[in-house]
Structure 1
């Protein structure tokens, strides 16, 4: 099993990995979760998949097992910044605007973690190992990018899992409805608590 952080600068060194990650996102968010998201050629993407972002992929033999997108809260592309802030500003119909207890941050040391997934093909005996590999590389990459904290939207139960893997994760907003019987919550992740 390998873990790779992709950027627009280095993705040409990794063959089909970026496209395979977008395909895995399609299977997770569109095929499995029935989310109404942009897609083409079996790949899911949106307005936040820009050169500002980085993508962490856990992969083995060309198959993407898990992934996450990291975007700086200072990003700007047209009218968009990052997903949580844009939802709060009312730019996204699919996410409630009252998802945070405070104003969405804009600071170089805070990055957003989004599109977090573990493929449903990952066997249960491997899931925790895959999740830990994803979290470890996410933290390492975010720190290398200058982040001291992350903000993200995760399934309601994820903060408990995060604590099991050593992440200092606290709710940053109320539980929100994000799909058919799906409940999510915004979280703050302090990166200083997970030192390697």
Structure 2
């Protein structure tokens, strides 16, 4: 697999690839997971944060997107600051080295049988490596509380930023976790493979 990063300032040059990513997001979050509030008539899940500040992370197998994820700088508006601020009762962490990690989804052929097999584990390792290379020291996220234990299992130091609250697609918990070389070493020890070194597709 190859790990690609598309800068939000340069989406015009990669519109077909991103269109496929938005279709994958809609298939996973709306059609499979039932997040009806995200449903779009054109079958493409996009939001106000898919802007010039976003970093779109794609795990590619040939010309197909195996895994998608997104990083948003917390110094600009993002989900936790503008959609779920009430969840973060301990405050919304912000800074040039803190990014929000969101919208991770795996295309069905690359899900495998294990929790972190195939694409998901490879994306996690690629994101950690990318953050370490880019000076990103921590990521925030909001999602089902089960992700707290799943990331903890991988060696992340996950700190909740508030208590779970119920939404139409289930409970949502905000959290922050550090991106460290120790976490990367743990992923390597688990046998999660490295993909081709990140290529940042920028102007």
Alignment match, 1:78:
none
Is residue 131 of structure 1 aligned with residue 120 of structure 2? yes
Q: Measure the CA separation in 1 of the matches of 2:9 and 2:52.
A: 8
Equivalent residues of 2:21, 2:68 under 8 A apart: yes
Q: Measure the CA separation in 1 of the matches of 2:84 and 2:148.
A: 21
Alignment match, 1:16:
16
* SS of corresponding position for 1:138: helix
Equivalent residues of 2:111, 2:119 under 8 A apart: no
Q: In structure 1, which of residues 122, 126, 135 is the aligned counterpart of residue 110 of structure 2?
A: 122
Q: Measure the CA separation in 2 of the matches of 1:164 and 1:14.
A: 35
- Detail structure 1 runs of 4+ shifted over 4 Å in the superposition: 9-15
In the TM superposition, 1:155-174 aligns within 5 A as 155-174=144-163
Q: Measure the CA separation in 2 of the matches of 1:117 and 1:178.
A: 19
User: Could you tell which deviates more after superposition, 156-165 or 114-123?
Assistant: 114-123
Is residue 108 of structure 1 aligned with residue 96 of structure 2? yes
TM-score, L = length of structure 2? 0.77
Greater RCO (CA < 8 Å, at least 6 residues apart): 2
Equivalent residues of 1:5, 1:141 under 8 A apart: no
Q: Measure the CA separation in 1 of the matches of 2:137 and 2:73.
A: 11
The structural deviation recorded for 1:71 is 0.5
C-alpha distance 13-22 of structure 1, shift in aligned 2 (>3 A): same
Q: Measure the CA separation in 2 of the matches of 1:32 and 1:2.
A: 26
Q: Measure the CA separation in 2 of the matches of 1:176 and 1:120.
A: 28
- Equivalent pairs, count: 182
TM-score, L = length of structure 1? 0.79
* SS of corresponding position for 1:43: coil
C-alpha distance 10-133 of structure 1, shift in aligned 2 (>3 A): farther
Q: Measure the CA separation in 2 of the matches of 1:121 and 1:39.
A: 24
The structural deviation recorded for 1:63 is 2.8
Unaligned 5+ segments in structure 2 are 186-203
Is residue 63 of structure 1 aligned with residue 56 of structure 2? no
Q: Measure the CA separation in 2 of the matches of 1:195 and 1:70.
A: 18
Unaligned 5+ segments in structure 1 are 76-80, 90-96
Equivalent residues of 2:5, 2:58 under 8 A apart: yes
